Amino acid sequence: QKEVEQNSGPLSVPEGAIASLNCTYSDRGSQSFFWYRQYSGKSPELIMSIYSNGDKEDGRFTAQLNKASQYVSLLIRDSQPSDSATYLCAVSGRDDKIIFGKGTRLHILP
Amino acid sequence: DTAVSQTPKYLVTQMGNDKSIKCEQNLGHDTMYWYKQDSKKFLKIMFSYNNKELIINETVPNRFSPKSPDKAHLNLHINSLELGDSAVYFCASSQINSPLHFGNGTRLTVT
């Protein structure tokens, strides 16, 4: 059974600090990795996608992928209250099935 | 303009009834999905269609039947609704190995 694991939180981070969200996955054949943000009562929205080992930066967000350790993370720099949400890690394997973790609730403290 | 649209947004019904949720995407994607998000916010894949063909069918009761009349539409019909079916159902679409684009969700409440 392919799995994606995340710490459910809540993760509390002071405004302006760096929030670090982590995710591990079980399927070594996984090829595509995504981070989604979901506000309460809304649909998930894509923040970052990453396909190869290393870092990928987009504004205040950096995704990091380490396939050997089966680990993907998301860093949010200069955290803002508007970043408070649930962050979902998603992983896609060779079968194109996209599996989600249970999400980490992030709370930015003003 | 909406990329993935699903209707209705809210659905309140009694146990034993049959209901349908409709989904349409105008992104030209080949693959469409149904996901269920339970009260603990866990998003679980139910079905996936690629160009009208069923390619993923997770362990979902037979009461749930997807139908894809064309690659832009994927509907979900649920027979004999049960209390445990209460959840938010999301339609999504994508190209292969690309991110999902979600609809706004349908909140189903079974009483």
B95-111 pLDDT, tens digit per residue, is 987 899 999 999 999 99
pLDDT reading at A2 higher than 90 = no
The CA-based dihedral angle spanning residues B95, B98, B99, B102, taken in that order and rounded to the nearest 10 degrees: 10
Using an 8 Å CB-CB cutoff, list chain B residues near A43.
90, 102-105
**Residue A79 C-alpha, separation from nearest chain B C-alpha, in angstroms:** 23
Average pLDDT of span A90-101: 88
What is chain B's percent helix, strand, coil content, to nearest 5?
5, 55, 40
3-state secondary structure (DSSP) of residue B60: coil
Rg (CA), chain A: 13
Q: Do A46 and B40 touch (CB under 8 A)?
A: no
Give the other-Cβ count within 10 Å of A18's Cβ.
Answer: 13
Question: For residue B37, with 0-12 CB atoms within 10 Å meaning exposed, 13-18 middle and 19 or more buried, which class applies?
Answer: buried
Q: What is the pLDDT of residue B1?
A: 66
Closest CA relative to residue A72, chosen from A96, A36, A106: A36
Question: Per the structure block, which two tokens stand in for B30?
Answer: 């080949």
A102 at B interface, C-beta within 8 A: yes
Q: By the 8 A CB rule, do B82 and B17 touch?
A: no
When CB atoms are compared, the residue of B31, B45, B98 closest to A99 is B45
Q: Say which amino acid occupies B70.
A: D
Give the nearest chain B residue to A85 (CA atoms): B41
Give the other-Cβ count within 10 Å of B51's Cβ.
Answer: 12
When CB atoms are compared, the residue of B96, B97, B102 closest to A43 is B102
Q: Do A100 and B55 touch (CB under 8 A)?
A: no
B36-58 pLDDT, tens digit per residue, is 999 888 999 999 998 888 888 88
B1 at A interface, C-beta within 8 A: no
Average pLDDT of span B19-42: 94
pLDDT reading at A25 higher than 70 = yes
